[in-house]
Amino acid sequence: MKKINVFVDGGEGTTGLKIKDMLQSRDDIHLIIIDEKGRKDIKVRAEKINSADVVYLCLPDDAAKESVSVITNPNTIIIDTSTAHRCNDDWAYGLSELSGAHFEKIKKSKRIAVPGCHATGFTAIIFPLVQAGLLPKDYPLTCHSVTGYSGGGKTMIAQYQAGADDAKLVSPRQYALTQSHKHLPEMVKHSNIDTAPVFNPIVSNFFNGMAVSVPLHTRLMNGTGVAQVFKTLEKHYKDSQLITVTSEHEGMLSANEIVNSCKMRINVSGNDERITVVAIFDNLGKGASGAAMQNMNIALGIDETKGIM
């Protein structure tokens, strides 16, 4: 069996390390290695990139653009986990479950942008409702997103793991208070809405997992009730291997109930006046590394769940 040559550019961060761990568990992958000195040399990186069938970019935006600029191999598939190309129409947006067109674009593309974690949950909720005509494009949306601290990368992980006695780290912490979070542009573009939601991201003292919550008033949705919202989302994702839709109205929902997985659960609850829709998934799974692997599988024409379940 001919193995797939894969290079992870920037593989020392949280997302890159997770991707490499997932790749090393597969018998169909040959992982191209680069040493510490080579990681800082664009000429060495360019050689590795152009020798690969698939390249994961796990880099800051400017570095990701630099890596793209040195590509000369027309067959190399680039999967970018940064923010750099998520709103670029020349790139496939890597949330395949949104529609058949999204899946086909990923399948045929050599350039795939992995969605941001918060954007993944928000867009998975909002896109189907807008597409079905239940949610007006100018609806005044609000989004609350609770995430584990691993989403903050190495610095935040070290801060939490070393700061057990720091009172500020015990309780959840809101951030991006200026309403300028880097995921907002893709949330607007790929949800097909007119304006950005009021966004309230919250980091909490657990490692991975997240819950993205969107509250809705039915009087602003032409009287659409909770049952219709549930049925619309359930129908939209009925063929998905990774996304399920539930309707639990009792008990509690936990942001870390789905971890180490690329699955997502969308829960619809409330009544015919006020509805809460919550997407629960792993910020390192469906929200990052797992989604990157899923997109590679689709682009290569193999089972999209291979190596991520």
Helix (H) or strand (E) holding 34: none
Query: For residue 166, what pLDDT is reported?
Result: 80
Is 117 an active-site residue?
Answer: yes
Half-sphere exposure of residue 18: CA atoms within 13 angstroms, side-chain side: 27
Tokens of 41: 């040399």
> What ranges make up the beta strands (E) of the chain?
4-9, 29-32, 54-57, 77-80, 92-93, 111-113, 142-148, 173-174, 198-204, 210-217, 243-246, 264-270, 274-281
CB distance 283 to 151 below 8 Å: yes
Q: How confident is the model over 151-193, as pLDDT tens digits?
A: 998 889 999 988 767 878 889 999 999 999 999 999 999 999 9
With tokens 């469906």, the residue in question is 286
For every residue of 231-267, DSSP letters joined together read: HHHHHHTTT-SSEEEE---SS---TTSS-SSS-EEEE
* Domains of the chain in sequence order: 4-115+288-300 (3.40.50.720), 117-285 (3.30.360.10)
Q: Which of 58, 117, 143, 262 is catalytic?
A: 117
Tens of each residue's pLDDT in the chain, 309 residues: 789 999 999 978 899 999 999 999 999 999 999 988 888 889 999 999 999 999 999 999 999 999 999 999 999 999 999 999 999 999 999 999 999 999 999 999 999 999 999 999 999 999 999 999 999 999 999 999 999 999 998 889 999 988 767 878 889 999 999 999 999 999 999 999 999 999 999 999 999 999 999 999 999 998 899 999 999 999 999 999 999 999 988 889 999 999 999 999 999 999 989 999 999 999 999 999 999 999 999 999 999 999 987
Alpha carbon distance 176, 143 (integer Å):
13
